Structure 1
């Protein structure tokens, strides 16, 4: 009987804290037309380095009948095979990752090449480990991956050569 009362009291306490916390947090949220605003528009979809690279990549893609997509979820271009016993765990490895750029063939929007723009943040141990996992996932899926070192400028001819070497049989 004592445990039941203690659990009931704990439940009431948690409920009160939750309710108080919700109202208290809502008081500090900016409002528009009397409604709380929880989301904000991101005006910088791409970093400056990504924008610079995109502007060099775009003409190449158009000239080769390809589209360029930015920040594509890995889960949208690879999937976990149905026979995998640890399917849920394997899906967790891809669901929160993205590819910086994806080249797709115009006529059928088939993914042809994943492109990762590697800046200094990729030098950390954690980022490096994440890159290794991403490399392996794409390799297993048969998706070519091109890693490009971020730079202040890009040579379109060199970039074209690098992409061509990865896409030889596809484009």
Structure 2
């Protein structure tokens, strides 16, 4: 076997190995590229900007019809649909454009519609925002009595038939009878604003707090023999179980916690004997609170 034959065989084997490696590498590269592209549609549907689609050829777009034909992943996005619905509600789209949108739901066509009316849409949104801000600025917090007409027949109010519920009437009669034995008097439906003063020097803060406490009341306020505020009673029922009512009750409790006037909450209506015991106990605790807060006030004055 000559040396020339061996050399040619060696070169042939090297060439076959090179071609085999090149073929394997090219195939793996194609598979990798195919796998990468298969993950791209969901990505670009979510993140691609309006008016741009670098994958138009593989999506099914063609230059022969201005890119309006579409494939599986070329439909308009939910954000585009929502914006187009807003433009329809604002009256920016013509009937012809609405008809085209029914037959053509492509991404590019939706982008062209949005781009055409975007400036008008922005102007409408800005005008709506200014109008809302103006309404919030001019929102009335009190009635302007100078603007009211003299005929009260047209006022949007009517007189209630009863001041109390049946449960409150029953409790009030028992409480009034027990308090009269001690020389106390009972005031029903007293506003929190009639019990507390707002001490803030800031006008806006003072108005805010006053409007808040003016809308709240206690069911009964008991006055002592000298007509001074003694203790208050809240008659709780099922209406106090809502989250809003619980929040109001918590606010009332916090107010009375830092005040000599005692606040008592009652769930059930007692009989006459138990009512007498309740009034006596409330009076004892109210006297103790008065003494306690009087001492605190004296200590506070000693620092000044």
TM-score normalized by the length of structure 2 = 0.40
Aligned match of 1:52:
170
Alignment of 1:158 onto 2:283: no
After TM superposition, give the deviation of residue 79 of structure 1 in Å. Answer: 1.3
The verdict on how the C-alpha distance between 1:112 and 1:73 changes in structure 2, with shifts beyond 3 A counting, is same
Match of 2:184 among 66, 77, 82: 66
Q: C-alpha separation between the residues in 1 aligned to 2:244 and 2:170?
A: 25
Superposed, 1:5-84 pairs within 5 Å as 36=154, 38-82=156-200
Aligned match of 1:110:
228
Gaps of 5+ in 1: 1-5, 11-32
Root-mean-square deviation (Å): 2.8
Higher helix share: 2
Higher strand share: 1
Aligned match of 1:98:
217
- Any idea what SS the aligned residue of 1:115 has? strand
Aligned match of 2:262:
144
Q: C-alpha separation between the residues in 1 aligned to 2:237 and 2:221?
A: 18
Q: C-alpha separation between the residues in 2 aligned to 1:98 and 1:56?
A: 20
Residues 192, 218 of structure 2: 8 Å contact kept? yes
After TM superposition, give the deviation of residue 36 of structure 1 in Å. Answer: 4.0
Q: C-alpha separation between the residues in 2 aligned to 1:88 and 1:37?
A: 25
The verdict on how the C-alpha distance between 1:164 and 1:81 changes in structure 2, with shifts beyond 3 A counting, is farther
The verdict on how the C-alpha distance between 1:112 and 1:40 changes in structure 2, with shifts beyond 3 A counting, is same
Higher relative contact order (CA 8 A, sep 6+): 1
Structure possessing the higher radius of gyration over alpha carbons:
2
TM-score normalized by the length of structure 1 = 0.69
